[in-house]
Amino acid sequence: MSGTATYRDAVRAGIRDALIRDPRCFLMGEDVGRYGGCYAVSKGLLDEFGPERIRDTPLSESGFVGAGIGAALGGMRPIVEVMTVNFSLLCLDQILNNAATIRHMSGGQFSIPVVIRMASGAGRQLAAQHSHSLEVWYAHIPGIRVLAPATLEDAQGMLWTAIVDPDPVVIFENVMLYNMTGSLPAEVRPVDIDKAAIRRAGTDLSIVTYGGSLWKCMAAAAALAEAGIDAEVIDLRTLRPLDDETIMASVRRTRRALLVDEGWRSGSLAAEIMARIVEQCFWSLDAPLARVCSEEVPIPYPKHLEDAALPQVSAIVEAARRIMGAR
């Protein structure tokens, strides 16, 4: 695929490329076949690859994620789609107690090359059952990689890099990104899943974020530039392991940092990164660290309340201004 595409198209192109490259690879999950996926990501793949490689599963996350782990143990390369991060709690036992631990507990004799994709985040008025950002729960677990692609290129290319990784990889796709448009290269190129990316260079302030919040931070940085504040925006891309090197190098340059995280404030990924900055860069800071997170409530259904619960551009700008005023 080349030319203008959506984030949804990019994910589909990554899956299709993996299915073509490796006959051991297959997609499984709820409604991924005939329905084409809850977010239309797998639309058309059943007709192209058939039911052996595009497998509709029963409505049992524990069952089909466990089956995917077993298939990976048996030498296959499954891509397991979990409809939404909230439902992934039904298979957390399989991910935490099996996928993440078997390599360690077997003394390296077995690996689990499974990729688990799931939608996360809010903004579509899907209420508390379908709208949370629980990435930090998975980033807490040793033995897995956790990715959060925020661009079309990453959504397409990270998948192949994840599939060839011998360890389990969990990929979070923010629901607000699926309709985002952009350009894609004609060929799928593997994307480095070890490094964060500086999406906007700046000298006054480091804004660190990931996933759907990236584009709010980019908009906030543009607004800050009009006020004479030059913000650098870092896209984490990989939430486990975190790329401390890129984060700390940026903070040492700008001497200030703002963390933006759609997760809840308490125990957030933002809190973890703030702790690391204090441990590694405390004497480089010219102002207290700050963070913008979701309000500590189940995500509401009404649009105005949902918006109020989530990090927004105005809140990011306000927090950045406070940091700059703390000199």
Q: Quick one: 132 exposed, middle or buried, by C-beta within 10 A (0-12, 13-18, 19+)?
A: buried
Contact residues for 289 (Cβ-Cβ < 8 A; gap 6+): 257, 258, 259, 274, 277, 278
DSSP H or E run through 222: helix 213-226
Gap between the Cα atoms of 53 and 77, Å rounded = 11
Read off the pLDDT of residues 104-119 as tens digits, 9 standing for 90 and up.
Answer: 999 999 999 999 999 9
Low-confidence residues of the chain: pLDDT under 50: 1, 326-327
pLDDT of residue 190: 83
Residue 79 per-residue DSSP state:
E
Gap between the Cα atoms of 80 and 67, Å rounded = 9
Among candidate residues 30, 52, 104, 130, the one labeled active-site is 130
CA atoms within 13 A on the CB side of 33: 14
What domains lie within the chain, and their CATH numbers? 3-184 (3.40.50.970), 197-324 (3.40.50.920)
Gap between the Cα atoms of 166 and 71, Å rounded = 13
DSSP H or E run through 232: strand 231-235
Q: Which phi and psi angles does 295 have, rounded to 5°?
A: -65, 150
Gap between the Cα atoms of 165 and 275, Å rounded = 29
Is residue 100 within 8 A of residue 143, CB to CB? The reply is yes
Contact residues for 279 (Cβ-Cβ < 8 A; gap 6+): none
pLDDT of residue 327: 45
The pTM (predicted TM-score) of the whole model is 0.95
Is residue 81 within 8 A of residue 29, CB to CB? The reply is yes
Read off the pLDDT of residues 27-36 as tens digits, 9 standing for 90 and up.
Answer: 999 999 999 9
pLDDT of residue 205: 98
130 is catalytic: yes
Among candidate residues 61, 81, 135, 153, the one labeled active-site is 61
